Structure 1
Amino acid sequence: MPTVDVGGVTNSTGNGSSPLSFNGDKIQINFGLNVTAKNPNLLPIYISDMNATAFYPDPLGSGNTTPVGGGYLDYMELPKYSDFSFIFPFSIAYDPMTDPNQVILNDLADKCGLTGEKPRDLTISYTIQVTARVLFVSVHPTINSQSTFPCPIQNNSFSL
């Protein structure tokens, strides 16, 4: 049975986009997730349309989550009998319309060390929908999980 592990972040986005971008009043933090996939099978597995949606937990502890971005990978082949690593392009997109009291923005700024606090890890839950094909059989699993990783943008990693 293949396994997939998200092992942290990289400044490389995997698709050449800038680490930080602005679109009007929206802020997008682009980075890559280091993914290791183990395929112990005799046949390669072909992954397509890997679409992730990221959710940020309510910093006030209500248990609610807010959609804050995600990522997309068009195609990837997991070779047979392999431990294969790749970068999954991912982004956190901050939209003030979904955070009118700036609770998420303030929490991100604190955790990324932008307010003078010591940087702390971010925990993001996500849903990944993917098509996986072996020979002529395709399956469409949905993976729900979470990942904890260092903030990809920290006070000393960019200048405004």
Structure 2
Amino acid sequence: MFKKKRDLGLTIDNLSVGKKVELTKKIEDKDILLYLGFTEDSNPIYIQHDYATRTPFQKPIVPHSMINGLLTSAISMQLPGPGSSIKKMNISYPKPLYHYGTLSLTLEVIKVDEKEHTTSISVIGKDEYEDEVLVGELEVCPPYPWKPITYDSGTFENF
């Protein structure tokens, strides 16, 4: 029941415009199969090579919502980090990311609003050929700092 409290990400007072994080993830079959198994999304453009070769894509593509999952993980684990939540996303996908491709995400703080307790983060995702596969902006609520257990009045009034 009483566990060590987990480290939080960057709180609003520790964020500044220009703060940047870069991450890279190679997409393997297991990643796609886990995603497809979890979502039960059997879109043939994601898994059927024979179908994909008959489309303008020419080969299976990585599901966009799976790319979003990698992006949201970067927000919740890296910038701002644990304790943060996404309030709004505006994302576009200029080109597809293909199976066995590598996704490189660059997240950068472009605005900090202490009054609203939000930060705006731009994101660019590129494949292994440096082609943009994701471009967007997110509004994120960074983690709130830990409050001492006696912070609120009346916490121990039964003792």
TM-score of the two chains, using structure 1 as the length reference: 0.28
RCO higher in 1 or 2 (8 Å CA, sep ≥ 6)? 2
Question: Which structure has the highest strand share of the two?
Answer: 1
Question: Which structure has the highest helix share of the two?
Answer: 2
